[in-house]
Structure 1
Amino acid sequence: MNKNLTEKIIGAAIEVHRTLGPGLLESAYQECLLFELKRLNLNVTKEIALPIVYKDIKLDHGYRIDLLVENKIVIELKTVETFTDVHSAQILTYMKLGNYPLGLLINFHTKLLKDGIKRFINTPQ
């Protein structure tokens, strides 16, 4: 199921990129991808707040997941020249904090979107 789901997400992202091309703000791609995923009848929410729990305190001013699909796949969107280790660390942190099994880091600032997609798996320690 997850493989089929990631294929649908990547297909929707490619459709958005094919239609809009590179060069827009991240928020534009987020709204368009949200639209495409909902058209596929997927359960998708945006800007999911993830609190940070440190010892005995919960900090509600934590992180925000760009998109969460079917409550299992974290999608982090970027419009950058190239991914850095910080981008990878960011999505891995979101996946760990929310205990989500899969993540897709998608960079819309590429000529071919397939060159701007990284898949992550949350392996329990």
Structure 2
Amino acid sequence: MDTNSTKRISERVIGCAYTVGNELGPGFLERVYEKALCVEMIRNGLEVERQKQLNVTYKGEVVGKYFADILVENCLLLEVKAVARLSPEHKAQVINYLKATDLTVSLLINFGTPRTEIKRIVWRHDDSKVI
């Protein structure tokens, strides 16, 4: 997958997020938005895995695991929130997820505000590589 393909995936996901946010509005629990976003992305032809278990490794050893809210096309991590305001801790959480995996790009999506908020978070991303 080339950089343009990945950019198109991100753009498609962002479009799906805005559709969900516009349809549902703020006020629901995160898991409602997570499920709705998966429905919207699948309807738009994207491969998604919800609550995908990812291993955290240290020097080649698995030292823990976490569950990504949504993994899209095996290359884009989505963290879904439904809060009044994103905090530095939310961004740090996503950066830690990226550090712990081979993934380099994530979208932090907040449905808790009147207008859906989306932050692109990058960790050691190389545009010449897949993502």
Same fold (TM over 0.5): yes
1:86 aligns with 2:89: yes
2:53 alignment counterpart: 49
Instruction: Please state which structure has a larger fraction of its residues in helix.
Output: 1
The alignment's TM-score, normalised by the length of structure 1, stands at 0.88
What CA distance in whole angstroms lies between the structure 1 residues aligned with 2:110 and 2:16? 14
Secondary structure of 2:100's counterpart equals: helix
Any gaps of 5 or more consecutive residues in structure 1? Answer: none
The alignment's TM-score, normalised by the length of structure 2, stands at 0.85
What CA distance in whole angstroms lies between the structure 1 residues aligned with 2:18 and 2:38? 13
What CA distance in whole angstroms lies between the structure 2 residues aligned with 1:96 and 1:112? 29
Task: State the aligned residue count.
Answer: 121
**Retained in 1: the 8 A contact 2:49–2:72?**
yes
Any gaps of 5 or more consecutive residues in structure 2? Answer: 126-131
Provide the alpha-carbon RMSD of the alignment: 1.5
Aligned counterpart for 1:103 among listed residues 99, 103, 106: 106
User: In the TM superposition, what are the counterparts of 1:60-75 in structure 2 within 5 Å?
Assistant: 60=64, 62-75=65-78
Larger RCO of the pair (alpha carbons < 8 Å, separation 6+): 2
% same residue: 36
**Residue type of the alignment partner of 1:40:** N
| Structure 1 residue ranges (4+ consecutive) displaced by more than 6 angstroms after TM superposition | none
